[in-house]
Structure 1
């Protein structure tokens, strides 16, 4: 592939045009979070702007990093010490741009985390639900919640936490709802949307009781595991559009 250098501002414009961050009320800033060199040839994508990802991007001689989980979040301590200092020091020393998109990356209809996870699991959303319509629902056919859990485990290559309904409440799975990452708070909205099962990344204490009592199964398949598809899909799309190099680096995370 022949690469053509592009400006940092042009790259930012391409990401913004695709993901439309202005549409979302989010938990932190979307877009360019750390300014690096003005000219970009190579993008590294990953899930989280961890020190491990930044070090891997340095080894790849990246000019820009594109992630779902950036460095800055609403309400965090603003001091640049410890892990924050270490991450920023590396980015600044190597003049690497950091781009981060949170909810806009979840929501993109084709390249986002939810759409990409649905594609891999064989689900085509026919409606959306929840805050900012981030959750998806699709028709699906599984004999029971255990069969659905086996399917998700096979596709993602990891075990899931399944809380199945009590035997008296159990039913076949005909409608599946999902929302990647830490969307356990969407469970009741998924029920209201007609789901027989809900798949997300994490589970908190209340959802186990709701699953047993409601007849709707709850599957926690891992925050990282459910959100590792959107960033490389978006970064690859924009890199192809602008004739840039792109490398996806998946930093393992058991969460």
Structure 2
């Protein structure tokens, strides 16, 4: 079956409530392709590798978490950007991108999906006083040592995480996928035993060590593979179209 592109885009925007979220890039349809969608290819980032794979898979629409046109970037269509846009336009493929709306959604969001994968019970926002903080707070069904939890992350994500090991058992957990390491201060204030993010900054080590908590950096790409898959599956069910997730490996 096929669905009109604009119908699919409108439903994705409604479902994610994307118009209500202030972001660093345009959310929604970033590049317009053919009018009908039969096959969606999803991936984390609209890299050239994903675009080429989507062309090979005969996609009508590419759905991603990391799209184009970020605030502050050079707006000129040259080099890498020209090649990417040329691929989309020459094959009449649409690009649909959702950044923060796909981090915060309570069903298909990256943070909720990571919690399900790691068996963390979501208890609420990491910082209920600040809606700009997109991380979550939760707990484990039973306490684990930092190394045991790091092994769980490794098994679930297929990538060995960076671990700053604290002394206490892990019960309460705060997390923010992707580049959310800067929220470690909110996690410490919330009284967690462990904070998880995708990336780490130099000062993250010192914050964790000096405040007596554990910290795991599990990979920006690795922690954000699951929201876009869940959204793609939702749209495929909603409109009876095909959906294929393509993972283009990224060690960061």
Written as runs of structure 1 = structure 2, the 5 A alignment for 1:133-172 is: 133-140=133-140, 141-165=142-166, 170-172=167-169
Cα distance between partner residues in 1 of 2:144 and 2:123: 21
Q: 1:132: Cα distance to partner?
A: 2.6
Cα distance between partner residues in 2 of 1:240 and 1:151: 30
Deviations 1:203-252 (A, max 9, x none): 00111011111011110000000000110110111111011111110111
Instruction: Say whether residues 1:21 and 2:15 are aligned partners.
Output: no
Structure 1 vs Structure 2 CA RMSD = 1.1
Q: What stretches of structure 2 of length at least 5 have no aligned partner?
A: none
Q: Comparing 40-49 with 151-160, which one deviates more in the overlay? A: 151-160
| Count of aligned residue pairs for this structure pair | 248
Contact 1:24 1:132 in 2 (8 A): no
Aligned position for 1:198: 195
Cα distance between partner residues in 2 of 1:34 and 1:124: 37
Cα distance between partner residues in 2 of 1:194 and 1:42: 45
Cα distance between partner residues in 2 of 1:146 and 1:214: 18
Deviations 1:122-155 (A, max 9, x none): 1121111245341111112334322221111121
Cα distance between partner residues in 1 of 2:91 and 2:112: 34
Contact 1:142 1:148 in 2 (8 A): no
Provide runs of 4+ in structure 1 moved above 3 Å.
none
Q: What stretches of structure 1 of length at least 5 have no aligned partner?
A: none
Q: Comparing 181-190 with 126-135, which one deviates more in the overlay? A: 126-135
